[in-house]
Structure 1
Amino acid sequence: MAKQNKAYKFRIYPTDEQVVMIHKTFGCVRFVYNKMLAERIETYAKLKDDKEALRKVKHPTPAKYKTEFEWLKEVDSLALANAQVILEKA
């Protein structure tokens, strides 16, 4: 007898406050991802001929941007950290 797979669907009904927070979080994650990507592209353009120096570059973390952009402190730091992880995998 074959095992049957089951699937579950969940639906959430966020409050108006939660909807605002979700939008802020997605916006901040998108901003941090794009900012980090732009810095990596810029670093690569400067160091593309020096492979050794390129390997030694320390890329910034999302925490670096919180001092410059205060509004990033409003959202969950793990969401911003995941943007960095996703960028590194890409």
Structure 2
Amino acid sequence: MKLNKAYKCRLEPNAEQEIILNNLVGSARFVWNHMLAISFEMFAKNEFINATNLVNKIVGLKNNPEFSFLKTSSNAVTLQQKIRDLASAWSRFFDPKVHARLKENKKKPKKPKFFK
């Protein structure tokens, strides 16, 4: 018998930890949005979009003096993971098997039982 367990935990950071967490989350969100814009440009130019191409662009982004906060207040691993997540989303977008599975699994909405 398979037994599923779930644990709930609550983060209660102090003021310093809260600032650090907000900086990490904010820089990850910034990199996601910026790389999404770059990937749209790559898509328009018919360039291949994958994790390697996008991760290589992080170095240029960090070296840009406008985005110097990426060097100081972010972790490279979290930024790379956001890029991998974005590349995974693009690969699922281009995968014909996923589209076929979505078309195959379309079901009619069921009427609620109380309408009988």
Same fold by TM-score greater than 0.5: yes
1:55 aligns with 2:48: yes
Q: Which amino acid aligns with 2:70?
A: L
Does the Cα contact within 8 Å between 1:28 and 1:72 map onto a contact in 2? yes
| Greater Cα radius of gyration, structure 1 or 2 | 2
Q: 1:7 to 1:65 in 2, by over 3 A?
A: same
Please point out which of 60, 66, 72 is paired with 2:62.
66
Point out 4+ residue stretches in structure 1 off by more than 6 angstroms: none
Does the Cα contact within 8 Å between 2:27 and 2:74 map onto a contact in 1? yes
The structure with higher relative contact order (CA 8 Å, sep 6+) is 1
Identity %: 34
Q: Which amino acid aligns with 2:69?
A: W
The RMSD of aligned alpha carbons is 2.2
What 5-or-longer segments of structure 2 have no aligned partner?
A: 90-116
State how 1:1-90 maps to structure 2 within 5 Å. Answer: 2=1, 4-47=3-46, 54-55=47-48, 58-59=53-54, 60-68=56-64, 69-73=67-71, 74-90=73-89
Moved more, 54-63 or 15-24: 54-63
